[in-house]
C-alpha cells in the first residue's frame, strides 16, 4: 500500500490495484450506544448498524427533503434516522420481520394512538382473559390444540402460563395490516425475551433466539420456570421508552421485496405519493456471506408474528458464495442506479468475512473491492473510495454465539460510490465536513 497525496483532511491511499482508500474518522464510534431516535432500539436485530453511523453519512451526503434509501433495511435504522433528520426515509427488505420493524418505525402511530389501542387491548383482555387462559392450559396439555399449527414446546416453556395466555390473546388480536397494531406487535417482539425485568421471558438474551434444542435442554437441566410478567404492563413501559423523542414530522416508506428491484419499486412508490422519486443517498449494509439466519435466530419472535422462520431463511440472500453474491449485488446496484439522482451517493457497509463455522474461508477476503469491480463498476457507478471500519463484530458475535463462534465478520468495509461523476466528487468533497452530533437535533418537533 502506498500513501497518496492528501487534499485538505482527506487522506487517500492507493491500493496496488488503484482502488482508492478513504480514511474516514469513525466518529460514530465515539457516540453513546443508544445515540439517535428513541424508536431505534424497538427490537434487537442481528447485524444491524448503529444509528450514529447512518447519521455520519445522512448529515454529510443529503439535505432535508432528499430521499434516503436502504434496500436492505433490516430493523429500519437508516430510513428512521433519515426521517428523523427531515429526509424522506425509504426502507426495503425481503424479510417480513425486518419489513414489520421498518414500517413500524418510519410510519409510526402517534403516542396517543398507540396508548389508546394498548388500553383497549388491556380492557379486552380483562373481559376475555379467562377464555385465553383456558386455551393456554389446553395448549400446554396438548400443543396441537392451538390452531392449525401446533405451538412449539419451546414457546410454551419460555413463558409463565399467564404471560403465555396474554401472548396468545395479543397474537390473535393484533392485525399486522393496521399501522397501530403493527407498531404494538413490533414493540411486543422487542420485549419478548431478555434478561432484565422488562422482558416477558428470561429464558434467552434479547439479541436473538437460542437454538430450540439448546432451549429445551437448558430448561430441563435448570428446571426453568419463567417469572410471571404482565404483557400489558411491559408494553406500556416499552411505549414510554419508545416515545421519549417526538416522532419525525413526515412518515417514510417501508417496502417488502427483493433488493434486486428495490430501486424500481421505491421510485414507483415515491411517484405514487407525489414525492421526489430519485434517491440522493443510499446507506445500506447488504447481507453478509453465510453469516446470519434471520429466521432461525428469531424463531420466538416469528412465532408471535405468525411468520414462518424456515421460509424466511429459504428466501433471503445471506448464504451465497462469492461469485453468486457478486452477481446478486450487480443486479441490485444496476437497478438502483436509475433510481438515483446524478449526484447521488451510495454508502455500502460490507462485512469482510474471513471465517465460517470456525474454518478459514477465502471467499470473504477483499469482498468490498470485488463488489466495486464486479458489481458497482459494471452498473455505471464511480468509486469515491473504500474505508475500513474495524467493528470487531467477530468478537461481539463470538461472545453471543459461543460454540457457533466463527460465523462472523471481522472488519467492515465502507464502499462509497457516486451514481455518476458528480456524485463521486460530492462524496469526496463532503467526506470530512464537520457533523453535529447533538441529539435530539434542533427542530425535531412533535406531530
Beta bridge partners of 201: 193
Which span (23-31, 90-98, 403-411, 417-425) binds ligand SAM, by CB under 6 A? 90-98
Which grid coordinates belong to 102? 421498518
Beta bridge partners of 6: 11
Quote the strand ranges of 357-432, DSSP E: 359-360, 382-389, 408-418
Residue 42 found at the interface with ligand SAM (CB under 6 A): no
Residue 98 found at the interface with ligand SAM (CB under 6 A): yes
Least distance to ligand SAM, CB of residue 60, Å: 18
* Residue of the chain from 22, 187, 259, 279 that contacts ligand SAM (CB under 6 A): 259
Cα separation, 337 vs 330, whole angstroms: 11
Nearer to ligand SAM by Cβ, of 229 and 322: the residue is 322
Number of residues lying near ligand SAM (CB under 6 A): 20
Residue 49 found at the interface with ligand SAM (CB under 6 A): yes
Nearer to ligand SAM by Cβ, of 255 and 386: the residue is 255
Residue 318 found at the interface with ligand SAM (CB under 6 A): yes
CA 309 to chain centroid = 16
Residue 317 found at the interface with ligand SAM (CB under 6 A): yes
Residue 307 found at the interface with ligand SAM (CB under 6 A): no
Nearer to ligand SAM by Cβ, of 105 and 117: the residue is 105
Residues 6+ apart with CB under 8 A from 409: 288, 291, 351, 352, 353, 354, 364, 391, 393, 394, 397
Which span (9-17, 27-35, 41-49, 230-238) binds ligand SAM, by CB under 6 A? 41-49
Which span (73-81, 176-184, 300-308, 407-415) binds ligand SAM, by CB under 6 A? 73-81
Are 237 and 76 in contact, with CB atoms under 8 Å apart? no
Least distance to ligand SAM, CB of residue 143, Å: 29
Residue 66 found at the interface with ligand SAM (CB under 6 A): no
Cα separation, 134 vs 121, whole angstroms: 18
Residue 107 found at the interface with ligand SAM (CB under 6 A): no
Residue 409 found at the interface with ligand SAM (CB under 6 A): no
Cα separation, 352 vs 303, whole angstroms: 32
Residues 6+ apart with CB under 8 A from 151: 139, 143, 303
Residue 74 found at the interface with ligand SAM (CB under 6 A): yes
Dihedral of the alpha carbons of 311, 315, 319, 321, in degrees to the nearest 10: 150
Beta bridge partners of 385: 416
Shortest-Cβ-distance residue relative to ligand SAM: 74
Residue 316 found at the interface with ligand SAM (CB under 6 A): yes
Least distance to ligand SAM, CB of residue 390, Å: 17
Cβ atoms within 10 Å of 384's Cβ, excluding its own: 26
In residues, how long is the chain?
447
* Residue of the chain from 56, 94, 165, 326 that contacts ligand SAM (CB under 6 A): 94
Which span (26-34, 42-50, 147-155, 225-233) binds ligand SAM, by CB under 6 A? 42-50
Cα separation, 352 vs 113, whole angstroms: 43
Nearer to ligand SAM by Cβ, of 242 and 316: the residue is 316
Which span (129-137, 152-160, 228-236, 314-322) binds ligand SAM, by CB under 6 A? 314-322
Cα separation, 390 vs 269, whole angstroms: 36
CA neighbor of 367 nearest in space, from 335, 404, 321, 331: 321
Which span (89-97, 109-117, 152-160, 394-402) binds ligand SAM, by CB under 6 A? 89-97
Residue 95 found at the interface with ligand SAM (CB under 6 A): yes
Residue 206 found at the interface with ligand SAM (CB under 6 A): no
Which span (72-80, 162-170, 235-243, 265-273) binds ligand SAM, by CB under 6 A? 72-80
Nearer to ligand SAM by Cβ, of 237 and 256: the residue is 256
Residues 6+ apart with CB under 8 A from 403: none
Sign of CA dihedral 351, 357, 363, 365: positive
Residue 258 found at the interface with ligand SAM (CB under 6 A): yes
Helix (H) / strand (E) containing 350: strand 340-356
Residue 77 found at the interface with ligand SAM (CB under 6 A): yes
Least distance to ligand SAM, CB of residue 156, Å: 28
Residues at the contact surface with ligand SAM, assessed by CB under 6 A: 45, 47-49, 72, 74-75, 77, 93-95, 98, 258-259, 285, 287, 294, 316-318
Amino acid at each position: 500500500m502506498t500513501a497518496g497525496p492528501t487534499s485538505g483532511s482527506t487522506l487517500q491511499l492507493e491500493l496496488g490495484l488503484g482502488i482508492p482508500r478513504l480514511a474516514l474518522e469513525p466518529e460514530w464510534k465515539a457516540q453513546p450506544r443508544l445515540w439517535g431516535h428513541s424508536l431505534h432500539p424497538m427490537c434487537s436485530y442481528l447485524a444491524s448498524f448503529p444509528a450514529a453511523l447512518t447519521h455520519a453519512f445522512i448529515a454529510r451526503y443529503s439535505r432535508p427533503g432528499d430521499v434516503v434509501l436502504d434496500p436492505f433495511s433490516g430493523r429500519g435504522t437508516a430510513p428512521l434516522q433519515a426521517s428523523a433528520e427531515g429526509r424522506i426515509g425509504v426502507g426495503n427488505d425481503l424479510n417480513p420481520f425486518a419489513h414489520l420493524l421498518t414500517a413500524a418505525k418510519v410510519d409510526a402511530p402517534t403516542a396517543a394512538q398507540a396508548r389508546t389501542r394498548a388500553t383497549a387491548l388491556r380492557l379486552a383482555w380483562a373481559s376475555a382473559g379467562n377464555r385465553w387462559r383456558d386455551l393456554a392450559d389446553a395448549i400446554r396439555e396438548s400443543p396441537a390444540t392451538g390452531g392449525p399449527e401446533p405451538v412449539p414446546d419451546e414457546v410454551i416453556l419460555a413463558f409463565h402460563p399467564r404471560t403465555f395466555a396474554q401472548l396468545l390473546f395479543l397474537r390473535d388480536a393484533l392485525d399486522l395490516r393496521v399501522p397501530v397494531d403493527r407498531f404494538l406487535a413490533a414493540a411486543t417482539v422487542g420485549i419478548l425475551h431478555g434478561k432484565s425485568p422488562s422482558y416477558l421471558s428470561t429464558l434467552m438474551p434479547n439479541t436473538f433466539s437460542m437454538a430450540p434444542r439448546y432451549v429445551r435442554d437448558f430448561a430441563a437441566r435448570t428446571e426453568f420456570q419463567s417469572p410471571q410478567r404482565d404483557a400489558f404492563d411491559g408494553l406500556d413501559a416499552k411505549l414510554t421508552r419508545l416515545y421519549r423523542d417526538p416522532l419525525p414530522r413526515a412518515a417514510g416508506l417501508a417496502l417488502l421485496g427483493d433488493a434486486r428491484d428495490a430501486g424500481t419499486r421505491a421510485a414507483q412508490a415515491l411517484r405514487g405519493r407525489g414525492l421526489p422519486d430519485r434517491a440522493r443517498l443510499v446507506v445500506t449494509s447488504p447481507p453478509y456471506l453465510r453469516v446470519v439466519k434471520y429466521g432461525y435466530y428469531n424463531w420466538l419472535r416469528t412465532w408471535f408474528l405468525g411468520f414462518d422462520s424456515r421460509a424466511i431463511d429459504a428466501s433471503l440472500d445471506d448464504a451465497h458464495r462469492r461469485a453468486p453474491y457478486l452477481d446478486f449485488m450487480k443486479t441490485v446496484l444496476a437497478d438502483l442506479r436509475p433510481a438515483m439522482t446524478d449526484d447521488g451517493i451510495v454508502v455500502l457497509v460490507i462485512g469482510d468475512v474471513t471465517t465460517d463455522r470456525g474454518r478459514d474461508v477465502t471467499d470473504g477476503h477483499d469482498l468490498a473491492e470485488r463488489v466495486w469491480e464486479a458489481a458497482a463498476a459494471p452498473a455505471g457507478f464511480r468509486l469515491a473510495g473504500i474505508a475500513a471500519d474495524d467493528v470487531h463484530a467477530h468478537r461481539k458475535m463470538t461472545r453471543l454465539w459461543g460454540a457457533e463462534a466463527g460465523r462472523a465478520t471481522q472488519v467492515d468495509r465502507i464502499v462509497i460510490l457516486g451514481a455518476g461523476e458528480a456524485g463521486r466528487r460530492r462524496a469526496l468533497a463532503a467526506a470530512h465536513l464537520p457533523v453535529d452530533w447533538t441529539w435530539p437535533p434542533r427542530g425535531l418537533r412533535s406531530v
